[in-house]
Amino acid sequence: MAMQSGGRDSGLGTRDSDNSTSNSNSRGALTDAVASFASEGVELPLASNASLVPSPESRVPALESRVPAFADPAQFGRVAVVMGGSSAEREVSLDSGRNVLAALIARGIDAHAIDGIPALLDALRAGHFARVFNILHGQHGGGEDGVLQGALESLNVPYTGSGVLGSALSMDKTRSKLVWQSLGLPTPKFVALPRGAPGSAPGQAVHAAARQVGFPLIVKPACEGSSVGVTRVFAERDLDAAVTLAAKYPGDLLMETLIEGDELTVAILGREVLPSIHIVPKGSFYDYNAKYVAEDTQYICPGLQGAAADDLARLSLAAFDALGCTGWGRVDVMRDHAGRNWLLEVNTAPGMTSHSLVPKAAAAAGIDYQELCWRILETSFDRDQGPGAGDRQCSSGFDRSRDSGGGAP
């Protein structure tokens, strides 16, 4: 099934009614995925609202029938939909937020818009809201880097999306890759480019890193989303300009091997993995314009089928779990010409615009936009257990409060 339009984003599924079963299954998924990659001899990298008319051969299998966890909108209480903020992704967040707010209100939920973290915290301290639908994007006021999550934990206010750990790790692409690498999960060869690193001039360090990674390569900010500040570099003469662009944004930089092949994204909500989407931009690169402005980007869903689809789903869930992510999110992957999948990043507050990928994947699975927003909001009840519940009972299948070693199973 091909979907025309533009995109950022992620998925949906059911709340688990049996936590012990969920924990066992998710632990197994991570272990099985690592074992699968090892058995296949994968070389580990050095540190280095379109009309959907699926064809019979590409029809997405129906998800299991689901009984809603909550049927009465009043059970959510008064909901703050926090959007906008002060990150580089403010405009996308405002667009996402307006859509989410309208969907929740249409379902009878007492939802209200709040612009940015300071206004949200003032309203919460005044007792105006029972829970938060976080649709902020990015870091430094974007609400996707763990800072907002920590504040909400301290106020004991439930919210959507990953907790402090999953949000902070996922926002930092370098540290995400280090975690995946330690577990044997495939990610492109990379070199971190810290700001102000001692030992050599910035230009020397950049060119040395490029020689280590090899061309073609990607240069990007380590902690931005929506393809902000990203450049594909095919020759050394273009390297300095790429670094100059990426350095306009806060934080460290990341250089990684450019994987040439198909760009895929996989949406997750709860423990459900939605059908993948194969992204085909009109140009050579799925950049900011192709994601949010262009109307000629093609989205093919499912992106893969059969055993290849199963392998990608297993890898995506393992990557999501490895970073301690919970609730919902999107895993971005490149599939090279040899059919090998390479993890790029996890997005813990995916876009919900008219061009976004979460709603497209949901629609392919028979879930409309309003239902998707309802299900995402349902995941906030997992945090009603108290502060830190989302990180203690993380989706990688073990209870951090009981794990004296602090390591993954």
Q: Catalytic residue positions?
A: 89, 226, 292, 330, 332, 345, 347, 351
Q: Classify residue 394 by burial, with Cβ atoms within 10 Å: 0-12, 13-18, 19+.
A: buried
Pairing label, strands 253-257, 190-193: antiparallel
- CB contact burial 183-213 (16+ within 10 A = b; e otherwise): bebbbbbbbbbeeeeeeeeeeebbbebbeeb
Determine the Cα–Cα distance for residues 194 and 78; give it in Å rounded to an integer. Answer: 42
Peptide bond into 302 cis (omega under 30): yes
CA-to-CA dists, residue 52 to 31, 305, 323, 362, angstroms: 36, 18, 33, 11
CB 265 within 8 A of CB 279: yes
The amino acid at residue 220 is K
Residue showing tokens 């490029």: 210
Determine the Cα–Cα distance for residues 28 and 397; give it in Å rounded to an integer. Answer: 9
